[in-house]
Amino acid sequence: MNDRPLPRFKDDTRRNRLIGILLMCGAVLCFSFLDGTAKWLNQSMPSLQTVWARYASNVLIVCAILNPVTHPRAYRTSRLKLQLLRSFLLFFSTAMNFIALRYLQLAETISISFVVPLMVALLAVPILGERVGAARLIAILVGFGGILVVVRPGMSGFNPAALLTLIGCVGYALYTILTRLLAAHDPTETTLVFSGLVGFGLVSLMMPFVWVVPPDWTIIVGMAAVGAFASVGHFLLILAHQRAPASTLIPFMYTQLIWMILIGYFAFGDMPDKITLLGSAVVIASGLYLLWQEQRRAI
């Protein structure tokens, strides 16, 4: 007889993976609303002020939970220089992305940002000493080819703002690698606190030169929302990785393209052209191939 129920631990594993996938989908939905709100705010204020709003509300939320009284260890690091550099890279990539959102469609910026896993795989070779085989190298090069299709340098559809997104992606890829390095030395709470405080301090120094008084209460709500979306999104991302392996979650990261297209269309009347979608498909395929290669190496 084969009608015995499956062992309980298998049911728990499947349930945790399903919850992890749902949390990942919720995280990318939050990040999509974050970018959509930032693009909307850019119509009423300088992009750097939008960055400040993202950090200000994010810091308030994080510090309310991880304050120095209840969580003093979260404010201590054994790798101060790495924490500062990592936090600067996150601030830099965020600023580049928000400035680019002023000029690009949401679908364009997210399509370009899908190059980050490819950059991480490439930069991990000299920084982390990881090896890259011929197949992975070809996948990375094909992925970069897909980005060229999206960006279209030298063609009539080329927008120089796409270069800002690409530069920001380099910063985010380096940020990701430093996150890996810091994981062995500092707890997640410490890294989360430093990310917010350093970015908030840097962008606050610029505010006297660019500040514009919000014209109405809806803009103030939007300024609070960008930080809330960032905080909730990162929190869901952490919960997702606690319940399922990265190999299970990463493919669902690409669902963000769907949300960005929908938000771009209904909020701004934007619709990506076929060339952008083709380039996105190439980049996503390359990223999924790299993921498959990683899974094979882990077996």
Q: What is the pLDDT of residues 44-70, one digit of tens each?
A: 999 999 999 999 998 998 888 888 888
Closest CA to 27 of 172, 227, 232: 232
pLDDT at 9 over 60: no
Note the pLDDT of residue 6. 46
Q: Is residue 19 part of a domain?
A: no
Q: Is residue 36 part of a domain?
A: yes
Q: What is the mean pLDDT of residues 262-276?
A: 89
Q: How many CA atoms lie within 13 A of 66 on its CB side?
A: 20
Q: Is residue 62 part of a domain?
A: yes
Domain that holds residue 95: 24-298
Q: Is residue 16 part of a domain?
A: no
Q: Is residue 15 part of a domain?
A: no
Sign of the dihedral defined by the CA atoms of residues 203, 205, 211, 216, in that order? positive
Q: Which residues contact 129 (CB under 8 A, 6 or more apart)?
A: none
Q: Which residues contact 108 (CB under 8 A, 6 or more apart)?
A: 150, 159, 162, 165, 272, 276
Q: How many domains does the chain have?
A: 1
Q: Is residue 9 part of a domain?
A: no
| Between 148 and 267, residue with greater pLDDT | 267
| Helices and strands (DSSP H and E) totals, the chain | 13, 0
Q: Is residue 12 part of a domain?
A: no
Note the pLDDT of residue 148. 82
pTM: 0.86
Closest CA to 174 of 104, 209, 136, 126: 126
Note the pLDDT of residue 155. 63
Beta carbons of 35 and 229 less than 8 angstroms apart: no
Task: Give the separation between CA 95 and CA 54, rounded to whole angstroms.
Answer: 10
Q: Is residue 5 part of a domain?
A: no
